[in-house]
């Protein structure tokens, strides 16, 4: 059955958004393109007391670390400062660790690096653990280095594509769609690699980094949500559907992208 918008996340991550869209008369389907494979071992967190800040990149990272700590009877020190890129991750930290969180107004790595630096000051500019995806993006590390922050990266999970044949069978049940919602750059790359359907896509993104990946891979007609909150994403989707561009020039073909090798960057 055709839908208005394809949501490229697990249903439990977009349940509120699905309800808000339904109330607006917009049909949607949540079909994830990728899955997260935990790769962290408990030994990675040995001697965390020397670190001043623990920064999380995603809800996935928070849940994996929280589960690992619970299984091994480990707790972070009371003086440790928790930080997150976005509001959803911050809420996950509060729920799983019962701790307060510093979180930038603009949900990206660059803003988080500046906030961490401002919080711990010049004399303590170091001792930061970054807990997130194996291949992070968003400018956190580059900005931290410029500011003089000493950041240790501990990969928590690896994002992998779902099997293409199974995914496309699921997508076939809801095709065609008018627009696609992406919450991360990895989802954009997976879409181009895996999806067989030749739709000239209109997209909605969370964050400037995801928007930049849409531009890099040829999606010219997209809207960036004001925030990751379901209400703001729903507003962005409404805006996209009202101003849709169905021109075949709105997205590059997957063959052209794969030939240029851009998906491996």
For the chain, domains (ranges, CATH) are 3-33+162-264 (3.40.50.10090), 36-159 (3.40.50.10090)
Task: Give pLDDT, residue 24.
Answer: 96
Query: Which residue, 201, 76, 31, 57, is CA-closest to 192?
Result: 201
Query: What six digits make up the tokens of 179?
Result: 């627009």
Ordered per-residue pLDDT tens for the chain, 265 residues: 678 999 999 998 899 999 999 999 999 999 999 998 888 765 666 565 667 899 998 898 999 999 988 888 888 888 889 999 888 899 999 999 999 999 998 878 889 999 999 988 755 555 888 888 887 666 888 898 898 888 888 888 888 999 999 999 999 999 889 999 999 888 999 999 988 765 557 899 998 889 999 999 888 789 999 888 899 999 999 999 988 754 443 333 333 333 333 444 4
Task: Give pLDDT, residue 52.
Answer: 84
Q: Which residues pair with 38 in a beta bridge?
A: 157
Q: Is the peptide bond before 123 cis (omega within 30 degrees of 0)?
A: no
Q: What angle do CA 178, 190, 11 make, to 5 degrees?
A: 65
Instruction: Give the pTM.
Output: 0.73
Alpha-carbon separation of residue 176 from 28, 51, 161, 264 (angstroms): 11, 49, 21, 28
Task: Give pLDDT, residue 264.
Answer: 43
Task: Give pLDDT, residue 112.
Answer: 92
Task: Give pLDDT, residue 137.
Answer: 66
Q: Which residues pair with 84 in a beta bridge?
A: 56
Q: Which residues pair with 7 in a beta bridge?
A: 30, 181
Task: Give pLDDT, residue 121.
Answer: 73
Structural contact between residues 206 and 225, judged by C-beta atoms closer than 8 angstroms: yes
Structural contact between residues 180 and 204, judged by C-beta atoms closer than 8 angstroms: yes
Q: Which residues pair with 179 in a beta bridge?
A: 5
Round the CA-based radius of gyration of the chain to a whole number and report it.
19
Task: Give pLDDT, residue 74.
Answer: 80
Task: Give pLDDT, residue 163.
Answer: 92
Q: Mapping DSSP to helix (H, G, I), strand (E, B) and coil, where does residue 142 land?
A: helix
Query: What six digits make up the tokens of 33?
Result: 């393109």
């Amino acid at each position: 059955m055709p839908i208005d918008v394809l949501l490229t996340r697990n249903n439990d991550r977009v349940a509120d958004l699905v309800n808000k869209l339904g109330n607006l008369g917009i049909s949607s389907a949540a079909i994830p393109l990728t899955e997260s494979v935990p790769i962290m071992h408990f030994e990675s967190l040995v001697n965390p007391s020397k670190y001043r800040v623990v920064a999380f990149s995603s809800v996935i990272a928070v849940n994996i670390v929280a589960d690992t700590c619970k299984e091994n009877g480990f707790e972070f020190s009371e003086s440790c400062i928790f930080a997150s890129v976005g509001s959803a991750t911050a809420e996950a930290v509060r729920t799983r660790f019962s701790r307060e969180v510093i979180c930038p107004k603009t949900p990206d790595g660059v803003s988080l690096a500046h906030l961490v630096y401002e919080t711990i000051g010049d004399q303590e500019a170091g001792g930061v653990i970054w807990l997130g995806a194996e291949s992070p993006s968003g400018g956190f590390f580059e900005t931290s280095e410029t500011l003089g922050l000493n950041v240790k990266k501990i990969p928590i999970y690896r994002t992998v594509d779902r099997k293409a044949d199974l995914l496309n069978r699921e997508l076939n049940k809801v095709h065609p769609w008018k627009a696609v919602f992406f919450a991360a750059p990895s989802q954009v790359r997976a879409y181009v690699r895996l999806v067989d359907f030749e739709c000239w896509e209109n997209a909605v993104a969370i964050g400037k980094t995801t928007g930049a990946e849409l531009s890099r891979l040829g999606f010219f007609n997209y809207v960036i949500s004001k925030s990751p909150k379901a209400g703001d994403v729903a507003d962005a989707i409404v805006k996209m559907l009202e101003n849709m561009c169905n021109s075949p020039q709105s997205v590059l073909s997957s063959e052209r992208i794969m030939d240029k090798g851009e998906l491996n960057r």
